[in-house]
């Protein structure tokens, strides 16, 4: 894999930033707010940010880049599809529970539903996310869809997946701002109390997390190789025993090795060409 070290650095940073975001959301609700419970009180509302940040932001982000982890390229595509679909399903479930929490809280406190821009964009993102999940299962996981349909849908799947993810981050930022404006009265948000500083930092981390994931997911040379190229594009050191590549690498002369390298380069270029034409591996 090209720039393996850079990929690892970005991956480690995104995991760290995502993990710290989840911790900060917990510190926010436990240290500064009413904690978590399910009784129609403000503590029930608090499930909303915690589950959104854990599921809809962090887990969805990991689900998006899971195909790009070079050590998974030796795993079957079907297994990776199960992992990608499974993580996205967990994210969806947590997002739904978080929505139930906020609607339940609003109904218990007689607060009107669906009045804000945050709630409009948020609900739209959840609806498109469920559609994406349903189509992903129906077209890419179940064996019934014809190859032509898979090939036609893949660029749309990738584009809409990344757009929904970016929209989710934007919605979370709107929600955070609203909550701080509503909840901080004495001292007010404008007086920058410690809670406001902590939660502003949380918002910044969400933007950084989103940018790292979108960067990793949009580099063509870090894409999972198409099935026919997978053998020669394995990351160095990740070659499973008994494969063609390993036996060439261990038994060959230097000339053979440079041959292999130029083959790898050719395959990589071919792979990028396929990607540009929307012909990524969909099986
Ligand atoms: C309300 C969705 C993230 C704070 C709502 C409502 C929806 C929603 C649909 C309306 C509930 C109702 O009308 O009864 C989402 C989605 C998010 C998200 C999809 C994920 C990106 C957040 C975050 C916060 C937050 C991270 C931070 C605290 C709020 C607040 C309300 C609310 C304060 C009540 C005021 C309002 O209806 O706008 N959210 N939310 N949201 N959300 Fe979020
Ligand atoms: C690729 C998003 C559900 C199958 C992708 C990519 C994104 C994405 C952003 C591009 C990844 C990359 O370029 O490395 C989503 C979202 C989903 C979802 C947000 C849920 C709402 C599913 C489901 C399946 C699926 C249920 C069924 C197995 C695939 C496949 C790829 C893919 C086969 C191509 C991987 C490759 O490049 O080889 N998805 N996806 N997706 N997704 Fe999904």
> Which protein residue has the closest C-alpha to ligand 1 atom 2?
122
Q: Are 60 and 88 in contact (CB under 8 A)?
A: yes
pLDDT tens per residue across span 44-59: 999 999 999 999 999 9
Cβ atoms 105, 44 nearer than 8 A: yes
Q: Residue 241 pLDDT more than 60?
A: no
How far is 132 from 274, CA to CA, in rounded Å?
A: 23
State the pLDDT at residue 283.
Answer: 53
Ligand nearest to the CA of 227: 2
In degrees and rounded to multiples of 5, residue 164 shows phi and psi of: -65, -45
Atom in ligand 1 nearest the alpha carbon of residue 95: 19
pLDDT (mean) for 8-22: 98
Instruction: Return d(Cα 209, Cα 177) in angstroms, integer.
Output: 18
Ligand number with the minimum distance to the CA of 170: 1
Looking from the CA of residue 116, the nearest atom of ligand 1 is 38
The ipTM is 0.93
Output the pLDDT for position 262.
40
d(CA 233, ligand 2 centre) in Å:
21
**Pocket probe mutation, ligand 1, options 91, 174, 175, max atoms within 8 Å of Cβ:** 175
Q: Is 144 exposed, middle or buried (0-12, 13-18, 19+ CB in 10 A)?
A: exposed
Tokens of 194: 């410690």
Q: What is the 3-state secondary structure (H, E, C) of the chain?
A: CCCHHHHHHHHHHHHHHHHHHHHHHHHHHHHHCCCCCCCCCHHHHCHHHHHHHHHHHHHHHHHHHHHHCHHHCCCCHHHHHHHHHHHHHHHHHHHHHHHHHHHHHHHHCCCCCCCCHHHHHHHHHHHHHHHHHHHHHHHHHCCCCCHHHHHHHHHHHHHHHHHHHHHHHHHHHHHHHHHHHHHCECCEHHHCCHHHHHHHHHHHHHHHHHHHHHHHHCCHHHCCCCHHHCCCCCCCCCCCCCCHHHHHHHHCCHHHHHHHHHHHHHHHHHHHHHHHCCCCCCC
Can you name the residues that pair with 188 across neighbouring β-strands? 185
Query: In this structure, are residues 64 and 165 in contact, taking their beta carbons and an 8 Å threshold?
Result: yes
Is the confidence at residue 271, as pLDDT, over 90?
Answer: no
% pLDDT > 90, the chain: 78
pLDDT band at 118 (very low <50, low <70, confident <90, very high): very high
Judge contact between 76 and 220, C-beta under 8 A: no
Residue 252, pLDDT above cutoff 60: no
Residue pLDDT, tens place only, 165-224: 999 999 999 999 999 999 999 999 999 999 999 999 999 999 999 999 999 999 999 999
Nearest CA to ligand 2 atom 19: 161
Q: Is the CB of 271 under 6 A from ligand 1?
A: no
pTM: 0.86
In this prediction, residue 226 carries a pLDDT of 86
Nearest ligand (C-alpha, residue 178)? 1
**CB distance 202 to ligand 1 below 6 Å:** no
**Residue whose pair of structure tokens reads 């989840």 in the numeric block:** 22
- Cβ–ligand 2 contact at 136 (below 6 Å): yes
Indicate whether 240 pLDDT > 90.
no
Contact of 227 with 281, CB cutoff 8 Å: yes
What average pLDDT does range 144-165 have in this prediction? 97
Question: What pLDDT does 26 receive?
Answer: 98
Q: What is the mean pLDDT of the chain?
A: 86
* Atom 31 in ligand 1: residue holding the nearest Cα: 175
């Amino acid at each position: 894999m090209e720039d393996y070290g850079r990929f690892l650095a970005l991956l480690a940073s995104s995991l760290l930033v995502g993990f710290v975001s989840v911790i900060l959301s917990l510190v926010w609700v436990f240290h500064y707010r009413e904690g978590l419970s399910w009784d129609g009180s403000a503590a029930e509302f608090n499930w909303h940010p915690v589950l959104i940040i854990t599921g809809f932001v962090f887990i969805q982000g990991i689900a998006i880049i899971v195909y790009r982890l070079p050590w998974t390229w030796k795993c079957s595509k079907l297994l990776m599809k199960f992992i990608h679909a499974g993580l996205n399903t967990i994210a969806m479930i947590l997002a739904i529970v978080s929505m139930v929490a906020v609607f339940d809280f609003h109904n218990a406190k007689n607060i009107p539903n669906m009045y804000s821009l945050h709630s409009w964009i948020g609900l739209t993102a959840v609806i498109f996310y469920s559609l994406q999940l349903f189509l992903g299962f129906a077209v890419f996981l179940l064996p019934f869809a014809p190859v032509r349909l898979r090939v036609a849908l893949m660029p749309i799947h990738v584009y809409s997946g990344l757009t929904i993810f970016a929209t989710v981050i934007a919605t979370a930022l709107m929600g955070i701002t609203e909550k701080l404006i509503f909840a901080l009265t004495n001292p007010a948000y404008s007086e920058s109390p410690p809670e406001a500083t902590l939660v502003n930092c949380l918002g910044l981390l969400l933007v950084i997390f989103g940018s790292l994931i979108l960067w990793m997911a949009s580099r063509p040379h870090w894409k999972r190789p198409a099935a026919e190229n997978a053998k020669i594009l394995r990351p160095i050191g990740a070659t499973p025993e008994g494969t063609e590549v390993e036996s060439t690498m261990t038994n060959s002369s230097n000339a053979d090795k440079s041959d292999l390298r130029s083959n790898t380069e050719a395959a990589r270029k071919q792979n990028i060409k396929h990607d540009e034409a929307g012909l990524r591996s969909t099986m």
